[in-house]
C-alpha cells in the first residue's frame, strides 16, 4: 500500500524544495507558516487522513483526490493534459505503409487486449537486479507460490510487482464531459473500432459475437475501404468539440444527445479505441510532435483513453487522455504493440485483403447537427486553432555522450539531464524556478505519481558556478558540484518512488480540508506555496525501444514542457512553450549546459 509519509518529513522536504526559490525573508515567513501548520491544523488533518486511509485498505489515499483533480479540471484536455508518445518506425521499411501498419498495429492492440482480459498478460515488474529475477527459472518458481506470498518472493530478489489497476481503462473507454466534473466511462462489451479520417467517423466490428478477433485480412479490407473512401472532409468535424472547455463541451454534448445522436455517440464512447488515419506524411521531428500532440483537431477524439495515430507514410504515435492513467500503462501497451507488430506482423506488404463486403461491415456515423451545434463546432475550431498557433515545439539531439559515459563517471543520467535544465534556465533568465519531474508510484496499490523537485540548493549552487563564476572554480571543484547534485537528485528520486515525496501528501491534506468544509489553512495561502505549484519547468522522461519521442504542452502559460530521453550514447529533448517564453533559446542553453557538464566530467577545461 502507498504509505502516508510522516508529517514532519513532509514539512522538511517541502522547505528543502522552497529554499532555492526564496530569499531569506521570504523563506523565514514560509518556514514559520509551515511549522505552525505542522503543530496545528496540519497535524489534525494528517491524523484524519491516516485514519481514513486505514479504513480504505482496498485503495490508496491519493486515488480519489487525484481522479477528482483531473476530472474537475475545466480546461480543454488537449495541450493541457493529453500527452503523446510516437513509435519508432518499423525496422522493415516496406512495413511502414499506412494500411499495412494500421492493420498490424490494430491486430496487435486487440491481441494485447484479449491477453490482458484473459488474465494472461505477464505482470509488470520492476527488476532492480534483472540477472536474478528476470529469468525463466524465477518465473517458473514464482508461478507456484500463492499470490498472497508471491510478492514477498519477488521482493527477496529485488523485484517489485507494479500496480496494473489502470490497464482495464485502456480499452472501450472515454472521458465524458459533464458540468463541474467529468466521468470515466467503460463498456467492455462493445466489439467495434472507431476510425477517423478527414474528420469523418467510421466504425466496424473487430471481434465476432464469441469475442474472437476478425481475421487480419478482413480488418485490412475494412481499413482499405475507409482509406479509399472519397467522401469530402466533414464540413463540421465533431472532433473539435472534444478540444473545448469541459463545461462548454458538456452543454454541447447534451444538445447532441437531445438532437438524436445518442446511438452515434454511444458508438464513439464505447469503441475499443480510436484509430486516426491522417492523409499526409511527416516532414520532420517538429512536425511529428505537432501531429501527435494535437494534430488538426478534426481527426482526433481527445476524450478516448487513447488515439492511435497513423499518418500517410506509416508514422505512428499515441495521444492519450491522462485522467484514467499514467505513462506506465500506456508505455507497456506501446512496447507490446511495437514488439508484436514488428516481430510477428499479422499481414505483410504482399498480403491481399479478404474479399468481404466492407460497404456493409463499415458504418459511417452520421451526426444530426442543428445551428447551435454547428456554431459550437465553428467556435471550438477557432479556439483550437488559436491555442495551437500560440504553441511552439522545438527539439535537440545531443550526441556527445549519454547514459554509458555518465554511469562510467558514476553520476546519475537523470540528475545530469535535470541539472542541464536548471543551468539553462539560470543562464537564460538568471533565476531558479519551480520545477516538476513526475515519478511513478506504481510499486504501490493504486499508486499514481509523485513529484520529484529537481530544483535544489545544490543545482542552484552548481548553476551559479558554471554560469557566473567559471573562472573561480577548477575542473575538479566543478566535478564535485555535479556529483553533489547527482547524489541529492538520486535521494529525491528514491524517496518519490517509495511514496516519500511531499507534494501528494500536502495535496491530500488540502483536499481533505476542503471536503470537510474546513477553511483552507494559511499554509496553503502562502504566496510561496502557490509559486512552488506554478511549475514553470515541467518535465517527464521515458526511454523505450518502441518510442521515438514523447512530449506534452506547458502546464502554465509562462512555462516549458520538457520531454526527454537519455539514451546510451545520446540525449534527446523536446520542449513546448507559449509566446511568453522562448523554447528555441532555452534548448540552445540546454545544449550548452550538457556540453559543459560532459566536458567537465571528461576532465576538460571549459570556457564561458
The residues annotated as belonging to the active site are 322
Contact 564, 573 (CB under 8 A): yes
Contact 405, 480 (CB under 8 A): no
Got the DSSP string for 31-98?
A: HHHHHHHHHTHHHHHHHHHHHHHHH-TTS-TTHHHHHHHHHH--S-STTTT-EEEEEPPPSSGGGGSH
**Residue 190 Cα distances to 226, 267, 277, 372, angstroms:** 20, 8, 21, 31
How far apart CA 537 and CA 423 sit, in angstroms, is 12
Alpha helices in 233-326 (DSSP H): 246-258, 262-270, 285-293
Strand partners, 576: 393, 561
Picking from 327, 319, 326, 322, the residue whose alpha carbon sits closest to that of residue 70 is: 322
Burial 89-101 (b: 16+ CB within 10 A, else e): bbeeeebbbbbbb
136 phi and psi angles, rounded to 5 deg: -65, -40
Residue 18: Cβ-neighbour burial (10 angstroms; 0-12, 13-18, 19+): buried
Strands 306-310 and 274-277: parallel
Q: How many CB atoms lie within 10 A of CB 228?
A: 9
Picking from 110, 161, 112, the residue whose alpha carbon sits closest to that of residue 133 is: 161
How far apart CA 377 and CA 248 sit, in angstroms, is 11
CA-based max dimension of the chain: 77
Alpha helices in 391-545 (DSSP H): 403-408, 413-429, 457-467, 475-497, 503-515, 522-525, 527-532
69 phi and psi angles, rounded to 5 deg: -55, -45
**Residue 446 Cα distances to 252, 332, 439, 475, 495, angstroms:** 33, 17, 14, 46, 18
User: Kindly report the CA angle at 393 between 390 and 394, in degrees rounded to 5?
Assistant: 140
Q: Quick one: CA dihedral 105, 111, 115, 117, positive or negative?
A: positive
Contact 577, 561 (CB under 8 A): yes
* Residue entry with cell 473500432: 193
Picking from 522, 420, 431, 457, the residue whose alpha carbon sits closest to that of residue 15 is: 457
How far apart CA 92 and CA 96 sit, in angstroms, is 7
- Angle at which helix 413-429 crosses helix 475-497, to 10 degrees, equals 110
Amino acid at each position: 500500500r502507498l504509505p502516508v509519509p510522516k508529517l514532519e518529513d513532509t514539512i522538511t522536504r517541502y522547505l528543502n524544495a522552497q529554499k532555492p526559490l526564496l530569499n531569506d525573508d521570504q523563506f523565514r515567513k514560509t518556514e514559520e507558516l509551515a511549522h505552525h501548520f505542522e503543530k496545528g491544523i496540519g497535524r489534525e488533518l494528517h491524523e484524519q487522513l491516516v485514519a481514513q486511509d486505514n479504513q480504505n485498505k482496498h485503495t490508496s489515499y491519493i486515488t480519489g483526490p487525484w481522479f477528482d483533480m483531473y476530472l474537475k479540471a475545466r480546461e480543454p484536455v488537449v495541450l493541457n493534459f493529453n500527452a503523446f508518445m510516437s513509435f519508432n518506425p518499423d525496422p522493415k521499411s516496406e512495413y511502414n505503409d499506412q494500411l499495412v501498419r494500421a492493420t498490424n498495429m490494430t491486430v496487435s492492440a486487440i491481441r494485447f487486449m484479449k491477453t490482458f482480459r484473459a488474465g494472461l498478460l505477464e505482470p509488470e515488474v520492476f527488476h532492480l537486479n534483472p540477472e536474478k529475477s528476470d529469468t525463466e527459472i524465477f518465473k517458473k518458481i514464482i508461478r507456484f507460490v500463492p499470490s498472497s506470498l508471491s510478492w514477498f518472493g519477488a521482493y527477496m530478489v529485488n523485484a517489485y510487482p507494479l500496480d496494473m489497476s489502470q490497464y482495464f481503462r485502456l480499452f472501450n473507454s472515454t472521458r465524458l464531459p459533464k458540468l463541474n466534473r467529468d466521468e470515466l466511462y467503460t463498456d467492455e462489451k462493445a466489439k467495434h473500432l472507431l476510425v477517423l479520417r478527414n474528420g469523418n467517423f467510421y466504425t466496424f466490428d473487430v471481434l465476432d459475437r464469441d469475442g474472437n478477433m476478425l481475421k487480419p485480412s478482413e480488418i485490412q479490407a475494412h481499413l482499405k475501404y475507409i482509406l479509399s473512401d472519397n467522401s469530402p472532409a466533414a464540413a463540421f468535424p465533431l472532433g473539435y468539440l472534444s478540444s473545448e472547455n469541459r463545461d462548454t463541451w458538456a452543454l454541447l454534448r447534451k444538445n447532441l444527445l437531445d438532437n438524436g445522436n445518442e446511438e452515434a455517440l454511444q458508438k464513439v464512447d464505447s469503441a475499443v479505441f480510436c484509430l486516426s488515419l491522417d492523409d499526409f506524411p511527416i516532414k520532420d521531428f517538429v512536425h511529428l510532435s505537432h501531429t501527435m500532440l494535437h494534430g488538426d483537431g478534426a481527426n482526433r477524439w481527445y476524450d478516448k483513453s487513447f488515439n492511435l495515430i497513423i499518418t500517410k507514410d506509416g508514422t505512428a504515435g499515441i495521444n492519450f487522455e491522462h485522467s484514467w492513467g499514467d505513462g506506465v500503462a500506456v508505455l507497456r501497451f506501446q512496447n507490446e504493440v511495437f514488439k508484436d507488430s514488428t516481430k510477428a506482423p499479422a499481414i505483410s506488404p504482399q498480403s491481399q485483403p479478404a474479399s468481404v463486403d466492407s460497404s456493409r461491415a463499415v458504418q459511417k456515423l452520421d451526426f444530426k447537427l442543428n445551428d447551435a451545434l454547428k456554431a459550437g463546432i465553428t467556435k471550438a475550431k477557432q479556439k483550437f486553432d488559436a491555442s495551437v498557433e500560440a504553441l511552439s515545439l522545438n527539439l535537440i539531439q545531443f550526441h556527445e555522450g549519454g547514459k554509458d559515459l555518465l554511469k562510467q563517471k558514476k553520476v546519475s543520467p537523470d540528475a545530469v539531464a535535470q541539472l542541464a535544465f536548471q543551468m539553462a534556465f539560470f543562464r537564460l533568465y538568471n533565476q531558479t524556478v519551480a520545477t516538476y519531474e513526475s515519478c511513478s508510484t506504481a510499486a504501490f496499490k493504486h499508486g499514481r505519481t509523485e513529484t520529484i523537485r529537481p530544483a535544489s540548493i545544490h543545482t542552484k549552487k552548481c548553476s551559479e558556478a558554471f554560469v557566473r563564476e567559471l573562472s573561480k572554480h577548477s575542473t575538479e571543484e566543478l566535478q564535485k558540484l555535479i556529483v553533489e547534485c547527482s547524489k541529492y537528485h538520486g535521494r529525491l528520486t528514491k524517496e518519490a518512488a517509495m511514496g516519500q515525496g511531499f507534494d501528494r501528501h500536502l495535496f491530500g491534506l488540502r483536499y481533505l480540508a476542503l471536503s470537510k468544509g474546513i477553511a483552507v489553512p494559511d499554509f496553503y495561502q502562502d504566496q510561496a506555496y502557490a509559486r512552488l505549484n506554478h511549475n514553470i519547468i515541467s518535465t517527464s522522461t521515458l526511454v523505450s525501444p518502441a518510442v521515438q519521442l514523447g512530449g506534452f504542452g506547458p502546464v502554465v502559460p509562462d512555462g516549458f514542457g520538457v520531454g526527454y530521453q537519455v539514451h546510451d550514447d545520446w540525449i534527446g529533448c523536446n520542449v513546448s512553450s507559449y509566446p511568453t517564453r522562448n523554447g528555441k533559446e532555452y534548448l540552445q542553453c540546454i545544449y550548452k549546459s550538457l556540453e559543459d557538464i560532459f566536458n567537465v566530467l571528461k576532465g576538460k577545461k571549459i570556457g564561458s
